Structure 1
């Protein structure tokens, strides 16, 4: 992977960002190596992109909206400190959508 000139962020940062935004769990280095076809993984940059999304995505109002749209609870929010409360907010959204 190489750095992206368009955004100024590395491709690894962007990969972490995309994974978290898609609601995926953090991928391990072996999976990233296989997925992107390169033996070198910039783990720190990948996690930087991933956590950047968590700061925006893993909020009560955002997850209620995800639930209201019928979207699955994002695995990217499972590992944070208040994940259980966020899951409850997501469920509130799901409940509203099913009425």
Structure 2
């Protein structure tokens, strides 16, 4: 359901679902939090994207990649590279084939 949200009223729905996830005690559900990161990034809600990513107890490559891509799509290239560096430093997930395309795009843009 989260991944079907795209724009407009979808932001309100995403925030409601985010609240339900928190209230129902799913704070450690990596799958739900990864989907929230992806939805917020897709909606261009970068601050929410980063807050959810930061709040994840254990980040995975899908969440990191969604955040990096969201930053690049928003034109925030330096922050995308900083987030990539944080991913490397965090050791919670390894970069993969989906990581490098937005990282290279950020480098080229800078």
Q: Compute the TM-score of the two structures, normalised by the length of structure 2.
A: 0.32
Whose helix fraction is larger, Structure 1's or Structure 2's?
2
TM-score (norm. length: structure 1): 0.34
